[in-house]
């Protein structure tokens, strides 16, 4: 009888639904892309991955590097297959770190400060010659209590990545010269 109850509880536990993935970063997948008058849009990453603290990319549901590559893939579309001009989107830097920040009061828990650094480049080239370059560099920083739940941490990370994508979009897209659109 004891094993029957144990087996039944294991069976019922295996049938429960997994929680939905609530980590949702806007990579512009559902919005109108920017059509470029180029033959191809290449996306690449020059980011080195770090698996030691203070870097926490391995703990994130999606890395900042992958978010930026997804954004570029969704945002830029080539429209002229006969054009000698190509576009290249490169992620130069995209990482998140955490540090412990002491609070001035002994009875308040320390904060964990998350910092997201990014640097991207969009280049237009013709036969290997660079015609135009745009860059977007910046960082996001948030501090939350050290003993925060995973839900709070993921909401903070999601907000940071959404701000990063929005800032890069606002800096790069409006400044693309008309001859490449």
Residue 2: pLDDT band (50, 70, 90) is low
Please determine, for residue 100, whether its predicted confidence score (pLDDT) is greater than 70: yes
Q: Output the pLDDT for position 48.
A: 81
The tally of CA atoms less than 13 A away on the side-chain side of residue 80 is 13
In a domain, 158, yes or no: yes
Most confident of 36-50, 99-113, 124-138: 124-138
Q: Is residue 1 part of a domain?
A: no
The per-residue pLDDT for range 8-41, each reduced to its tens digit, is 454 545 554 445 556 788 889 889 999 999 999 9
Do 143 and 101 contact (CB within 8 A), yes or no?
A: yes
- What number of CA atoms fall less than 13 Å from residue 49's CA on the CB side? 11
Q: What's the number of domains the chain is made of?
A: 1
For residue 35, being part of any structural domain is answered with yes
Note down the domain range covering 163: 26-180
Q: What is the pLDDT of residue 107?
A: 65
Averaged pLDDT, 105-126: 88
Pairing of strands 76-78, 34-36: parallel
76 pLDDT exceeds 70? yes
Q: What is the CATH number of the domain that holds 71?
A: 3.30.160.180
């Amino acid at each position: 009888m004891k094993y029957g109850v144990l087996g039944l509880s294991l069976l019922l536990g295996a049938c429960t639904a997994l929680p939905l993935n609530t980590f949702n970063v806007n990579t512009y997948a559902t919005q109108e892309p920017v059509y470029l008058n180029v033959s191809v849009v290449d996306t690449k990453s020059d980011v080195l991955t770090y698996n030691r603290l203070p870097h926490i990319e391995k703990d994130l549901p999606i890395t900042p590097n992958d978010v930026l590559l997804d954004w570029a893939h969704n945002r830029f579309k080539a429209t002229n297959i006969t054009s000698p001009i190509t576009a290249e989107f490169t992620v130069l830097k995209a990482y998140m770190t955490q540090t412990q920040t002491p609070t001035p009061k002994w009875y308040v828990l320390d904060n964990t400060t998350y910092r997201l650094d990014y640097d991207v480049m969009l280049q237009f080239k013709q036969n290997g010659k660079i015609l135009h370059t745009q860059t977007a560099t910046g960082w996001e920083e948030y501090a939350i209590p050290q003993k925060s739940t995973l839900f709070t941490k993921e909401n903070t990370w999601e907000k940071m990545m959404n701000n990063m994508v929005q800032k890069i979009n606002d800096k790069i897209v409006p400044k693309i010269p008309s001859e490449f659109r």
